[in-house]
Copies of this chain bind each other. A is one copy, B any other.
Amino acid sequence: MGEETYVADINAVRAMLPGVSDTVYLNTGTCGPLPTIAFEAMHAELQRDLTRDRIGAEHFPRLIETRNELRGVIARAVGADPAEIAITASTTDGMMSAILGYRWQPGDELLLTNIEHPGGLVPSFVAKRRFGLRVRVVDLGLGGGDPADIVAAFERALTPRTRMIVLSHVSYTTGACLPLKEICAMAHAHDVIVVADAAQSYGALQLDLHDIGVDVYAGSGQKWMCGPDGTGALYVRADRVGEFEQTFFSGGTIRESLDYYGGSVAPAFGAARFDTAGRSLVLMEGQKAATRWISEDLGMDWTSARISDMARYAHAELSRLPGVSVVTPREALAGLLAFNVAGISGPDLTARLAAEHNVTIRFVHKYINNPDAARVSVGFFTTEEDLAALTEGIQAIQSSL
């Protein structure tokens, strides 16, 4: 476990996260705890909102400047260029921009997997209805096994009309981390674009998006990056930016000039044209502070390594319990663990762990062949004591069944 190398820092890290001091918090995959440093940045900005600062001539320029600063912070965190980053309010925002913005021709095909979130599903289904594309589902089982088999499953599903693969880097339901780099290499060899739902990977994994080669990568700010609600980030690879139409506009997403009688307008340079948020300085300052703290102060190498270590520990501890079956494939583990306890449903287990043991987890529903399950998120702030509270709670509930 390497506990000794962490123990000196973890109390200081947790002291920055007051939300986790009064509950055993194992649900960052829904919403991470807000760090005090982000609260303070938001509070300072909120106080400026009461003054002439908010309503003066510098207000809008500062909004754009802050948006660009935030773009830079996010870019550094994921190995991208700032011009490849759009400021969004959610993972779903980014998925929409890519899926509804693509220039579909009737009969084009989009591939989904069987373990997707509505953030990828819903835009795909609406694009299907509006633009006449065909949507097909690739069955990856739980998303584990040999990465080559996963890649082969996608490759077998390709047809000459396939234009886009929509998948989750880490599935929110089974918790499996897909071999994204290998999938992208295969897809690009067939001239297919890969759009990744990064809700459960952005902020949880150390990322080098240029190395991975993914075309579009859409993440949330409030989950593993512990930012405020209503924040997110979208990566669009520089050479792909021009392949998507804008489907959302706000000040800053177009160039200054527009041709009124001609009825045309030019999008902003770079991925900024896909900004769906960045209109609240309060939210942006919070997102910037949280992202900086995690990616620069703590460092993604440290946070991602700790998440990985603790998730493997949790996998082992849960697997050891009689009557508990872990859904998440060990070989595809990231920060999420889905599991079932014999004799009690995910919703009931979630409710009882909260009410009787002050342990916060969640549950996920079966869509196709992913099982209904309870789900635990292991954060960089999670301790072995947290996981002991989880397993003890499960055992106590089991003994009452």
Q: How far is the CB of A114 from chain B (nearest CB, A)?
A: 8
CA distance A254 to B135 in the complex (A): 19
Determine whether the beta carbon of A230 is less than 8 Å from that of B283: yes
9 closest cross-chain pairs (CB), A and B? A230-B280, A230-B279, A135-B263, A23-B52, A122-B249, A18-B50, A125-B265, A34-B49, A229-B280
**Given B19, B90, B118, which contacts A258 in the complex, CB threshold below 8 Å?**
B118
CA distance A49 to B18 in the complex (A): 10
Interface residues of A in 221-271 (CB under 8 A from B): 228-230, 245-251, 254, 258, 260-261, 263-265
Chain A interface residue count, Cβ-Cβ cutoff 8 angstroms: 78
Determine whether the beta carbon of B279 is less than 8 Å from that of A229: yes
A22 proximal to B (CB < 8 A) = yes
Q: Looking across the interface, which residue of chain B has its beta carbon closest to that of A246? A: B126
Q: How far is the CB of A197 from chain B (nearest CB, A)?
A: 13
Q: Which of A27, A261, A362 has the most CB of B within 10 A?
A: A261
Residues of A within 8 A of B (CB): 18-19, 22-23, 25, 27, 30-34, 36, 39, 42-43, 46-47, 49-52, 54-57, 59-60, 63, 89-90, 92-93, 96, 100, 114, 118-119, 121-126, 128-130, 135, 137, 228-230, 245-251, 254, 258, 260-261, 263-265, 277, 279-283, 350-351, 354, 360, 362, 367-368
Interface SS majority for chain A: mixed
A selection of 30 A-B contacts at a CB cut-off of 8 Å is A18-B51, A19-B55, A22-B52, A27-B55, A30-B59, A31-B55, A34-B49, A34-B54, A39-B46, A43-B43, A49-B228, A49-B229, A52-B360, A56-B354, A57-B351, A90-B279, A92-B249, A93-B248, A96-B248, A114-B260, A119-B249, A122-B258, A126-B265, A129-B264, A135-B263, A229-B282, A247-B247, A260-B367, A280-B280, A282-B283
Determine whether the beta carbon of A32 is less than 8 Å from that of B55: yes
Q: Given A39-B49, A57-B350, are A229 and B263 also a contact pair (CB < 8 Å)? A: no
Q: Looking across the interface, which residue of chain B has its beta carbon closest to that of A36? A: B50
- Which residues of the other chain, B, contact A33 by a CB distance below 8 angstroms? 54-55
Determine whether the beta carbon of A59 is less than 8 Å from that of B43: no
Copies of this chain in its oligomeric complex: 2
Q: How far is the CB of A347 from chain B (nearest CB, A)?
A: 10
- Which residues of the other chain, B, contact A121 by a CB distance below 8 angstroms? 258, 260, 265
Q: How far is the CB of A237 from chain B (nearest CB, A)?
A: 22
Q: How far is the CB of A277 from chain B (nearest CB, A)?
A: 7
Q: How far is the CB of A307 from chain B (nearest CB, A)?
A: 17
- Which residues of the other chain, B, contact A122 by a CB distance below 8 angstroms? 249, 254, 258, 265
Q: Which of A46, A123, A249, A264 has the most CB of B within 10 A?
A: A249
- Which residues of the other chain, B, contact A126 by a CB distance below 8 angstroms? 245-247, 249, 265
- Which residues of the other chain, B, contact A34 by a CB distance below 8 angstroms? 49-50, 54
